[in-house]
Amino acid sequence: MMYSNTHMVSVAIIGASGYTGAELLRLCAQHPEFEVQYATGDTQAGTLARVLYPSLAAAYPNLVFQEFDPAKAQEVDLVFLGLPHEASLDVAPLLVDKVACVVDLSAAYRLKDAAAYPQWYGFAHTQPELLAQAVYGLPELYRNQLVGARLIATPGCFVTAASLALTPLVRSGSVDATGIIVDAASGVSGAGRSLKHSSLFSTVDEDFTAYGLLDHRHTPEIEQVTGAQVLFTPHLAPMNRGILATCYARPSGKTPTTASLLAELARFYSSEPFIVVGKTSPSTKATLGSNSVHITARFDARTGYVIVIAALDNLAKGASGGAVQSANVALGLPETMGLTQVGMYP
């Protein structure tokens, strides 16, 4: 279904009480065509959104988180799922083809190989037909497939950064598609709102640690998007928001230069409103609150490595902003609608 400027898009956010849900509420509040009519948060049912998130008070003075009711969700045009992976796996079949578009922010429909789910996510995939139907929600790489999509799988935050950094160079053959290393750091909000020792202030403050060594679940997703073999190591940084991905690859064929790498990335993203390619080393704070991704590259002639670095806001472009961007494409709205290219600084 394509929407005109005379038709407001009614929106439901299932799982709206988490961080990605709160970010979706923020983005929908500034979207001229989206109107949130239903927001669920089973653990917070009956709670005013403004009580849990005072930042939402002006836009949603009377919005109350409700329990999930499929019949209510089926009454809107656009549904965002901000649920755990297995919950999305169960809920999506109740809504796909009942509404114009379902945008899932979990990993339930990201991996095209259903057999990969037990290894990487610990559950068997029970919806192979929907998995085949789902379109990957990264417009910079899958825009044509997103037009008219009924089910969208929003990428992981680490995956968005690493894939946008590496894919142009892998596709062109500028770098070898094997032995790529991705070191990436995330803000604590990437762990979600639930109470965990690993994300308590006293645990995270003044600390920097690697985790998910050799087996982080975003690894197969990065490999699926880039078409490359990747060793991925995530790190937790003591900041609220942000992803900084530093990617190392060997050149393939002609030896590049820093200038040639930057030129190739700039050409690939020349018409992309949210991609900034430049010489400056990217900063997570420069992307704060925006849907932009800042990318740079270098070639180190001494060691023979290509370095590509990308920064983004993990809750915006890395999750809810990317979801809104993909929904805009699917519904035939201007892709940048409701989203900003400009970060909050300082």
Which residues does the annotation mark as catalytic? Answer: 157
Scored b (16 or more CB within 10 A) or e, 200-227 reads eeeebeeeeeeeeeeebbbbbbbbbbbe
d(CA 325, CA 329): 7
Task: Report CA-CA distances (Å) from 147 to 57, 184, 321, 333, 341.
Answer: 34, 31, 17, 10, 22
Q: For residue 33, give the amino acid letter.
A: E
Where does residue 283 rank: exposed (0-12), middle (13-18), buried (19+ CB within 10 A)? Answer: middle
**DSSP strands (E only) in the chain:** 9-14, 34-40, 78-81, 101-104, 135-136, 151-153, 180-186, 209-210, 230-236, 243-249, 275-277, 293-300, 305-312
Contact 23, 320 (CB under 8 A): yes
Where does residue 337 rank: exposed (0-12), middle (13-18), buried (19+ CB within 10 A)? Answer: middle
Place of tokens 């044509």: 144
Where does residue 230 rank: exposed (0-12), middle (13-18), buried (19+ CB within 10 A)? Answer: buried
Strands 305-312, 275-277: pairing is: unpaired
d(CA 150, CA 69): 20
Strands 230-236, 135-136: pairing is: unpaired
Q: For residue 289, give the amino acid letter.
A: G
